[in-house]
Amino acid sequence: MFLKVDSVEKMPRVFILSPVGSLDSHTYEVLEKRVEYVLQEGQAKHITLDMAGVEYISSMGVRVVLKTQKQLKQRGGTLSMMNLQPQIKKVFEIINALPSLQVFASIEELDNYLTEMQRQALKGK
């Protein structure tokens, strides 16, 4: 089992992390370390996990997602996910985590959300 994680800074302090492979007890640290890096070095305020390439997720993978959400919330930031494969979405539904996470169907939907966030920030909301 393997996991590769690409990251892109979409705009200042807004990152898209794209894990590819299995997110399990053997690979979760790859994502965890990338999250730590963008939180510390990139001063991330918002992270979106593009889950299109994740084929399997275990409890350790879920733990990394929920830990990331908690860390961002403590900083006044947010975590979202997009492109969840059906089996991955089912895991989050079973543990009832989706209501607390924003889930986007596509990069376009995410871009619209980010644009609106910036508009609100400029208006002082």
* Residue 17 pLDDT greater than 90, yes or no: yes
* Residue 98 pLDDT greater than 90, yes or no: no
pLDDT digits (tens, 9 = 90+) for 21-67: 999 999 999 999 999 999 999 899 999 999 999 999 999 999 999 99
Question: What does the mean pLDDT of the chain come to?
Answer: 90
Task: Residue count of the chain, please give it.
Answer: 125
Model confidence at 99, in pLDDT bands (50, 70, 90)? low
If one counts the domains in the chain, the total is: 1
Residue 38: which domain range? 3-122
Angle formed at CA 35 by CA 94 and CA 7, multiple of 5 degrees: 100
Angle, helices 59-74/28-40, rounded to nearest 10 degrees: 10
pLDDT at 14: 94
Q: Percent of the chain having pLDDT more than 90?
A: 68
CATH at residue 65: 3.30.750.24
Please check whether residue 60 is in contact with residue 81, taking contact to mean a CB–CB distance below 8 angstroms. Answer: no
Q: Helix, strand, coil shares of the chain as percentages rounded to 5?
A: 45, 30, 25
Total-model pTM: 0.85
Supply 62's token pair: 């879920």
Model confidence at 115, in pLDDT bands (50, 70, 90)? confident
For 7-37, b where at least 16 C-beta lie within 10 A, e where not — what string? beebeeebbbbbbbbbbeeebbebbbebbee
